[in-house]
């Protein structure tokens, strides 16, 4: 969609305020013209030349009234344009955030967080400058320009023919300059996004940078990106500064020609030319070039904003990969899960092929196999983080693609390998599983997850802030908070993705105790490398080469002497 049409779509809901603002801008534009005309025709030609002082006082009162009305118009236009800009920016940012939430997990994995943040924050802020400042200024100056061109043509068409011809040439110059400038600022916005992405990545990985003593290396990489950003801006500056001298010369040449021709007409006694008219022409010519110069200056900010707007529209044009059908299924999940001939391909890479698996409601299934075999992808198909390439996944006999996404995911609990905690309190992180939970419910979930004693030992208890990504807590503590969050959610389906893979023995013991509580009465899918932690599973599913190759209980699989046996012996030796 054209960027101007997109901006109009956002402004449309505020058309009443916009209409008032446009009227106010018209008043300001007229207010820019009338005083000059009064000064030339009334003050110079009548009061000064004819030495008639009788009208001077009324002229002064008239001018004061005009400036008062113009000031009110300026106040209204500035106020409303800023207010509309802030409302539009709010709508843009809210829509962008909502849109980002709708985009698939795959999209977020494939795109830099820093780039998405840059589009949501920096690019939208650039749009604010254009809507609040540039648009107002450009509209007022364009209206003033049109008014001056009309008045000059009516007053003396000969002088107008001298003054106006350079204007279309300058217009073409500014337009072509704007097109080139927008291309440059598209590159500028992209390079700024690269800086944000690198900064976000480095701040998140500050431990690794210090651990490997890579401060200088990362400093050079960041400086290179900043240098590229600087060079792009300088290219824009070099292009922009070429226009202003051309405008200044055109103005000077036109002003000189008007002075020369008008003076000759007065000297030769031309009745159509007076000192007042010459004054009006010279003053209006100055006013005529002010809009052109201001528009050329505002054009830089405008092109920055349009480049930012194009990047934003490009993001909003991305269609969500995972969407609800027209009439999605809503209801309570019992917990039966069926994979029927399921295949999944990530770009051109086959991840899963021909998976057939039926899981009864309340059954605990463990998934094991070498790294990269597709275990996490398989369980990710249940809450529709991805959609199958072939086959179908059903819950309680209904395809997951037919379930309403919110209904589906609100009834599936997930404890990932790398627990993410928000930079808020422990209590609020646990309550993320149930936003309206009471303190009693939060405390009960913490107790069930074997994390309550640790929390109560802290000075602020459940009000303790965990730091960014939970950095103030150990891996085991974060994992148990994640389990408490899942317990509080109380979902009929639970997914545990390597829940104990990165914790110490004591933390693993406590987590296993909490899992005993969590697994009761719900369908559970467990991904594990530590085979000792899944002996209790009702069935163990072994994947290899992107397929299910074995299935059974721990004892049954060991007796077969197949892939599971080899995995087990690799960890514990031959029994």
Orientation of helix 243-267 relative to helix 166-204, angle to 10°: 160
For residue 45, what is the DSSP state? I
For residue 177, what is the DSSP state? H
Please state the φ and ψ torsions of residue 415, each to the nearest 5 degrees.
-115, 100
Least confidently predicted of 43-47, 56-60, 434-438, 546-550:
43-47
Q: Length of the chain, please?
A: 575
pLDDT of residue 514: 66
Q: Is 355 helix (H, G, I), strand (E, B) or coil?
A: strand
| Cβ atoms of 336 and 359 closer than 8 Å | yes
- Cβ partners under 8 Å of residue 463, min gap 6: 425, 426, 427
Which residue in 338, 420, 348, 409 sits closest to 378, CA to CA? 338
pLDDT of residue 444: 87
For residue 319, what is the DSSP state? P
For residue 369, what is the DSSP state? -
Distance CA 431, CA 477 (A): 16
Q: What tens digit of pLDDT does each residue of 249-296 get? A: 777 777 787 778 778 877 777 767 777 877 877 777 777 666 666 666
DSSP sequence for 222-281:
HHHHHHHHHHHHHHHHHHHTTHHHHHHHHHHHHHHHHHHHHHHHHHTT-TT--HHHHHHH
Q: What tens digit of pLDDT does each residue of 58-71 get? A: 888 888 998 899 89
| Cβ atoms of 438 and 361 closer than 8 Å | no
Average pLDDT over residues 394-414: 91
Q: Which residues pair with 399 in a beta bridge?
A: 394
Q: Which residues pair with 465 in a beta bridge?
A: 425
Q: What tens digit of pLDDT does each residue of 18-37 get? A: 899 889 988 988 888 888 88
Q: Is 112 helix (H, G, I), strand (E, B) or coil?
A: coil
Residue 430: which H helix or E strand, with range? helix 426-430
Distance CA 22, CA 81 (A): 9
At residue 358, does pLDDT exceed 90? yes
Residue 28: which H helix or E strand, with range? helix 15-38
Q: What tens digit of pLDDT does each residue of 207-250 get? A: 667 766 777 888 888 888 888 888 888 887 777 677 767 777 77
| Cβ atoms of 426 and 466 closer than 8 Å | yes
Number of Cβ atoms within 10 Å of the Cβ of 109: 9
Distance from chain centroid for Cα 541: 41
What is the dihedral angle through the alpha carbons of 444, 449, 455, 461, rounded to the nearest 10 degrees?
A: -30
At residue 346, does pLDDT exceed 90? no
pLDDT band at 408 (very low <50, low <70, confident <90, very high): very high
At residue 559, does pLDDT exceed 70? yes
pLDDT of residue 217: 81
Which residue in 362, 409, 343, 407 sits closest to 382, CA to CA? 409
Distance CA 7, CA 329 (A): 36
| Cβ atoms of 366 and 415 closer than 8 Å | no
Average pLDDT over residues 504-522: 70
At residue 561, does pLDDT exceed 80? yes
| Cβ atoms of 415 and 522 closer than 8 Å | no
pLDDT of residue 338: 94
Average pLDDT over residues 534-544: 88
Q: Is 549 helix (H, G, I), strand (E, B) or coil?
A: strand
pLDDT of residue 1: 52
Average per-residue pLDDT for the chain: 82
> In the chain, what percentage of residues exceed pLDDT 90?
13
Q: In what order do the strands lie in the sheet with 390-395?
A: 349-359, 337-346, 390-395, 398-399
Domains and CATH numbers, the chain: 3-316 (1.20.1560.10), 324-411+493-575 (3.40.50.300), 419-490 (3.40.50.300)
Least confidently predicted of 166-170, 440-444, 506-510, 537-541:
506-510
Q: Which residues pair with 299 in a beta bridge?
A: none
């Amino acid at each position: 969609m054209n960027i101007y049409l997109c901006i109009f779509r956002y402004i449309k809901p505020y058309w009443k305020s916009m209409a008032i603002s446009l009227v106010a801008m018209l008043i300001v534009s007229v207010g820019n013209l009338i005083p000059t005309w009064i000064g030339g025709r009334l003050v110079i030609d009548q009061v000064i030349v004819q030495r008639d002082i009788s009208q001077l006082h009324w002229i002064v009162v008239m001018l004061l009234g005009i400036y008062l009305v113009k000031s009110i118009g300026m106040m209204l236009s500035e106020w409303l344009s800023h207010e509309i800009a802030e409302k539009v920016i709010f709508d843009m940012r809210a829509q962008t955030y909502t849109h980002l939430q709708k985009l698939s997990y795959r999209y977020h994995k494939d795109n830099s967080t820093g780039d998405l943040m840059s589009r949501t924050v920096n690019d939208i802020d650039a749009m604010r400058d254009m809507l609040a400042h540039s648009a107002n200024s450009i509209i007022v100056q364009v209206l003033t320009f049109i008014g001056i061109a009309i008045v000059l043509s009516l007053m003396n068409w000969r002088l107008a023919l001298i003054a106006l011809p350079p204007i279309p040439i300058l217009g073409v110059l500014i337009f072509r300059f704007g097109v080139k400038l927008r291309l440059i600022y598209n590159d500028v916005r992209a390079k700024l996004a690269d800086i944000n992405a690198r900064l976000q990545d480095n701040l998140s990985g500050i431990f690794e940078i210090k651990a490997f003593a890579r401060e200088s290396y990362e400093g050079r990489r960041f400086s290179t990106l900043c240098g590229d950003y600087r060079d792009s801006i300088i290219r824009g500056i070099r292009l922009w500064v070429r226009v202003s001298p051309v405008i200044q010369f055109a103005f000077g040449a036109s002003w000189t020609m008007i002075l020369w021709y008008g003076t000759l007409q007065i000297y030769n006694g031309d009745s159509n030319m007076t000192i007042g008219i010459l004054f009006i022409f010279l003053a209006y010519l100055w006013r005529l070039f002010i809009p052109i110069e201001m528009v050329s200056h505002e054009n830089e900010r405008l092109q920055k904003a349009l480049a930012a707007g194009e990047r934003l529209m490009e993001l909003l044009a991305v269609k969500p990969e995972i969407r609800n059908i027209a009439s999605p299924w809503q209801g309570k999940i019992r917990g039966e899960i069926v994979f029927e001939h399921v295949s999944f391909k990530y770009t051109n890479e086959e991840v899963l092929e021909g998976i057939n698996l039926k899981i009864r409601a309340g059954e605990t299934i463990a998934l094991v196999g070498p790294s990269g075999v597709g275990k996490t992808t398989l369980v990710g198909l249940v809450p529709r983080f991805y959609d199958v390439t072939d086959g179908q996944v059903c819950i309680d006999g209904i395809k997951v693609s037919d379930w309403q996404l919110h209904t589906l995911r609100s009834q599936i609990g997930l404890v990932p390998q790398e627990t993410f905690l928000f930079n808020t309190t422990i209590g609020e992180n646990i309550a993320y599983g149930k936003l309206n939970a009471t303190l009693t419910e939060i405390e009960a979930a913490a107790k069930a997850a074997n994390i309550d004693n640790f929390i109560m030992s802290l000075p602020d208890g459940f009000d303790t802030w965990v730091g960014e990504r939970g950095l103030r807590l150990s891996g085991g503590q974060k994992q148990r908070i994640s389990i408490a969050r899942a317990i509080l959610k109380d979902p009929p389906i639970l997914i545990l993705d390597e829940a104990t893979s990165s914790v110490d023995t004591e933390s693993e013991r406590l987590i296993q105790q909490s899992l005993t509580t969590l697994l009761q009465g719900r369908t559970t899918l467990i991904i594990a490398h530590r085979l000792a932690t899944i002996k209790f599973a009702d069935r163990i599913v072994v994947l290899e080469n992107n397929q299910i190759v074995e299935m059974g209980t721990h004892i049954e699989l060991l007796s077969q002497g197949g892939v599971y046996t080899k995995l087990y012996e690799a960890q514990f030796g031959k029994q």
